[in-house]
Amino acid sequence: MRSAWRNDQNASNVTYPDAIRRTSLPPTRWWRARSPHDFSRKDIRTIREFLLRHERVADCDWLGAVGGDPATAVGIAIKGLQRHGLKNPVTDAVISAILCCALEGDPTAKMVLISALRRRAKIDPLCNMLRLHWLHIQF
């Protein structure tokens, strides 16, 4: 089984049309700009710290979702997607919590992320390529 974790000494073999844009994005947009192969455990910590410091989601279980409870993160993400659609900063925050759970191997979080990428691909073509990477990754 191929590991999904990126070796910090080696660059990813995935080529992006706009690598500069991808490195300058805030962590809440990484879910729609980076391949699963590009993430390290340090990136998960960075995302969670960013969410705790900068993002406020009006849900009493938000801390559980950010802390890594996949069921809570999935519930909040589904509500957030239904309520806010794909162009709202709240959506970036809730899908970022899902991203962390998916990177840690939760299959339900992975499917929610794939679904969000499929929907986002209608307005951002890069998301279709990312969706395909997520479909084939094994943790």
pTM over 0.85: no
Cα distances (angstroms) measured from residue 16 to each of 23, 49, 109: 11, 26, 24
- Give the C-alpha separation, 64 to 109, whole Å: 14
Helix (H) or strand (E) holding 81, with range, is: helix 70-84
Sign of CA dihedral 121, 35, 101, 135: positive
Of 11-20, 33-42, 71-80, 126-135, the poorest mean pLDDT is in 11-20
